[in-house]
Each structure stands twice: as C-alpha cells, then as structure tokens.
Amino acid sequence: MLEARLHHLSEIKKNIGEIEPFWTTVYGYQSIFSMYLRYFFDLKEELLLYYFIDKNTPKIMTRGINLFKGILEVAERGINVKILWTTQHDERPLKAEELDHDKALYFKIVNKFYELMNLSKDSSLIKMKFYSARMTTLFDILDGKRVLLKVQDPLNPSRILSCISLNDPLLAKNLRDKYLNIWTFEYMDI
C-alpha cells in the first residue's frame, strides 16, 4: 500500500513538472533574449511584436542581433511575423516637426534592421509598421496564447529591465485584438 502511494506521488510530481507555469519573470537582456529564443523555437502560427524606438535605438540594435536572427528564422519557417514600432511619447498630439523626426528615426531603424538581417528592403518575410501613439505597456503576443510584458528600465528607458511571460490565452486574445486594430486602422502610413 505504501509503495503504491509513493508511486502515485512520484507520478504526480512528474506530471507537475510537465505543467507550464502561468507566469515567469526574467531580468537582464541576456536572460530576456534567451527566453524569447526559447519561445521562438515552439512558435507555430504568429508572432506579434511591439517595439519602442528612441534616439538610442539605432546604436543599440546590434546588441539584439541574435534576437533579430531568431525573428528572421521564425519568419522563414512560414510563421506570420509583424513588428509594430512606436515612439514613447505621452498622450499629447505630436507637433509636425516631432512627427517628422519620428518618421525619419523609424526609417533609420527599419534600414538598420534590414541591414543586420541581410534582407532586401522589398522582403515581405517580416511586416513592419509605425505607430505614433504611446502604449502604456509594451507587450508581444506569441501564437495568440502567450503574452510577454516588457518592463522598461526606469534608470535607462532605452532598455528593457525585465520581461514577464504570461501563459494566458484570454489576455493574449484581447491584446491581439487591440494590436490588430492598431495594425489595421491606427498605424501611420509612411
């Protein structure tokens, strides 16, 4: 009887080890990149990315080369990849000169991305658009099931301090709807 209970407990422990946690948190860009690359490996349908840009982005993009290569590999597997780039402004409307500056910065970043990936600017593997409004929370959506919330570093807002991975299909669906609404109707056609 005791052996049967011990066997039963060991089976439960094995099964618990196979259950994916609801959330995990990682800190530091190496840990964050590793987590993204691990999730990229398992993607089957769609990758929706939301990145902010500022004056430092072109300078630090080379640090993310492995992440960008991971994104390219996902796209080459036939998975739908969209990147929505935004600037981090407050809720006030942008002045014309600010918007012109942001557009120029966006083009600089897109060109740098294509350069780093050795892609033609005519490539349709990875779709990118520019959104001129600020999102209160930076997030990515993987296969409509997982949400990655990005926390900016308050001491260096050009960097991500940590990333929270949520295995929450309902949240992912709601954020996906919001993302696709922005992608379809609110992006800036430049």
Q: What is the pLDDT of residues 137-189, one digit of tens each?
A: 889 999 999 999 999 888 887 788 999 999 999 999 999 999 999 999 877 65
| Angstrom distances, CA of residue 23 to CA of 53, 75, 149, 164 | 27, 26, 10, 7
- Angle 65-76/29-42 helices, nearest 10 degrees? 10
The pair of three-digit structure tokens given for residue 144, joined into one six-digit string: 């409509």
Residue 76 has pLDDT above 70, yes or no: yes
Percentage of the chain surpassing pLDDT 70? Answer: 83
The pLDDT of residue 6: 46
**Alpha-carbon distance 75 to 99, whole Å?**
30
**Higher pLDDT, residue 8 or 151:** 151
pLDDT of residue 10: 57
Average pLDDT, the chain: 84
- Is the domain spanning 20-186 CATH 3.40.720.10? The answer is no
pLDDT higher than 80, residue 95: no
What does the pLDDT read at residue 61? Answer: 85
Predicted confidence at residue 5, as pLDDT, reads: 56
pLDDT, position 11? 61
Encoded tokens for 174: 């709601």
Residue 118: pLDDT over 60: yes
Compute the average pLDDT of residues 23-34.
90
pLDDT the model gives residue 124: 85
CA dihedral 153, 158, 164, 170 (to 10 degrees): 130
Reply yes or no on whether the pLDDT at 121 is more than 50: yes
For range 24-35, the mean pLDDT: 91
Question: What does pTM read for this prediction?
Answer: 0.82
